[in-house]
């Protein structure tokens, strides 16, 4: 082992020690943050006005994405709509315009990396500079609880939802790094919803959700600037537990949740 190698290893070890010491000194601040978060649970947050805001919605051609677009159209937002289903996307945009909103559409396959990069580049070029310049706006990603945990026999679906959650998190971090904290981001992660995508879904976490219930939670979360919205809210706790619980215990817990469905039907696209 050369002297240079020993110096490099020593330097790396010193940096690790410094990191752990710095982290330990942050513990008092952690306690303050915990108390602050607990207090916020009992203090209603003021709902902001979103009239004229720019809102990006993925999955806007059907289901929750479409209903969300309609609600924001009623609030007179400027809508950027993404979906793989061109026909459904155009139907959503038409209705949004009828409701008095401006709507711009992009056909995007969120399971295709090149498609995401291409559409994100177009969207960034067209809309993000204005948001960045004004340090103002709101981007909404419609994902799923399946974007946080794997579900047997839903491999393709989970993969696409993990991509959507990753897009939201990376975008949030990038905006923070650029100090554009006025551009807000929100990600919706619901349990099974009665949209016809999956036949007869069920879990021990509660009944299948209705679209209107989920959209109401989403709108409330956006107006109070929540970054991640789980529906039902118990999914937030389960997501946290998956990060800290032992693997064997997680396997037992997932069996207790008892996720069941008959088949993945998918959305029927007109004209096919």
Read off the pLDDT of residues 167-179 as tens digits, 9 standing for 90 and up: 899 989 999 999 9
pLDDT value of residue 4: 55
Q: What confidence tier does 116 reach under pLDDT thresholds 50, 70, 90?
A: low
Report the range out of 80-89, 123-132, 238-247 with the highest average pLDDT.
Answer: 80-89
- Active site members: 157
The average pLDDT across 130-150 equals: 83
Lowest model confidence (mean pLDDT) among 71-80, 109-118, 214-223, 234-243: 109-118
pLDDT value of residue 150: 82
pLDDT value of residue 107: 87
Q: Give all domains of the chain, ordered by start, each with its CATH number.
A: 54-256 (3.40.50.720)
Ordered DSSP codes for 134-184: HT-EEEEEE--GGGTS--TT-HHHHHHHHHHHHHHHHHHHHHHHTT-TTEE
pTM of the model as a whole: 0.71
Alpha carbon distance 251, 192 (integer Å): 20
pLDDT value of residue 230: 93
Answer whether residue 229 shows pLDDT above 60.
yes
Answer whether residue 88 shows pLDDT above 90.
yes
């Amino acid at each position: 082992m050369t002297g240079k190698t020993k110096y490099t290893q020593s330097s790396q070890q010193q940096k690790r020690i410094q990191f752990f010491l710095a982290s330990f000194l942050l513990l008092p601040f952690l306690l303050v943050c915990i108390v602050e978060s607990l207090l916020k649970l009992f203090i209603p947050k003021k709902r902001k006005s979103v009239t004229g805001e720019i809102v990006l919605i993925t999955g806007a051609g059907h289901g929750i994405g479409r209903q969300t677009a309609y609600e924001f159209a009623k609030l007179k937002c400027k809508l950027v709509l993404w979906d793989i289903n061109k026909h459904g996307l155009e139907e959503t945009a038409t209705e949004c315009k009828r409701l008095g909103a401006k709507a711009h559409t992009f056909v995007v396959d969120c399971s295709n990396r090149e498609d995401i990069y291409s559409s994100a580049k177009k969207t960034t070029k067209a809309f993000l500079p204005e948001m960045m310049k004004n340090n103002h706006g709101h981007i909404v990603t419609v994902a799923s609880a399946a974007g946080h945990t794997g579900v047997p026999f839903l491999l393709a679906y989970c993969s696409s939802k993990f991509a959507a959650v990753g897009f939201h998190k990376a975008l949030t971090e990038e905006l923070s790094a650029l100090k554009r904290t006025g551009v807000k981001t929100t990600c919706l992660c619901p349990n099974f919803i009665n949209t016809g995508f999956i036949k007869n879904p069920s879990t021990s976490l509660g009944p299948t959700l209705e679209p209107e219930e989920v959209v109401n939670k989403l709108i409330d979360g956006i107006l109070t600037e929540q970054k991640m919205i789980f529906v039902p809210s118990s999914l937030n706790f389960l997501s946290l537990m998956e990060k800290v619980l032992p693997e064997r215990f997680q396997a037992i817990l997932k069996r207790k949740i008892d996720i069941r469905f008959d088949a993945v039907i998918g959305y029927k696209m007109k004209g096919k």
